[in-house]
Structure 1
Amino acid sequence: MSTRRKYKTYKELSFTDDFLFCNIMQNNPDICKELVELLLDRKVGKVAYSETQKSIDLALEQKGVRLDVYFEDDLSTAYNIEMQTSNTGNLPKRSRY
């Protein structure tokens, strides 16, 4: 039995796939801004800085967290966008960061 992982082609990817989601959000700040405005139902400043797969490690003995899309607007407000396709039960712990 083969243990090789089957990768999707570009045509098979959807917006909820991590690779495509992060690339769209990173390379299209207007889409990123509009998505957050729709979700929060409020205006967001101009995207001043964005990073995908941002790691946060608070201490050596603690497990860190990786944020899908992190960005700051021109008013220094920080936003984190996570694409969740299944409920793994760890959202409360992940949200504390």
Structure 2
Amino acid sequence: MAVGDKFYLGGQKAFQNYFSYNSSVGTTEVNVQLNFTTSCIKFISNDDETNDLIISFGTVSTTASAGLNGVITLKPGEVINELNIAISRINFKRTTGSGKVRFLGV
């Protein structure tokens, strides 16, 4: 365990809220407002088989560069699991095509 990690006796911490998303994303930026602040993104899945998915958080545009608080690019079929981040908005876009995106935030 790292400094600052918390260990909960009896299992994982219970979360009061969650937000699930399952929709198609194309070349126009999609902003998803969660209406609460997450503790963790359980998963983000790029379900498209041919097109990259560009992800940003909060007010960061999907046209920003990679780096500190920059965009994340998921290749076709890739998944991010257990991303510990406090956000209330997530943004998606593709450079070409369209395809399904799924995520669960708690």
Normalising by the residue count of structure 1, what TM-score does the alignment of the two structures yield?
0.24
The structure number with the bigger radius of gyration is 1
Higher relative strand content: 2
Normalising by the residue count of structure 2, what TM-score does the alignment of the two structures yield?
0.22
Higher relative contact order by CA 8 Å / sep ≥ 6: 1 or 2? Answer: 2
Higher relative helix content: 1
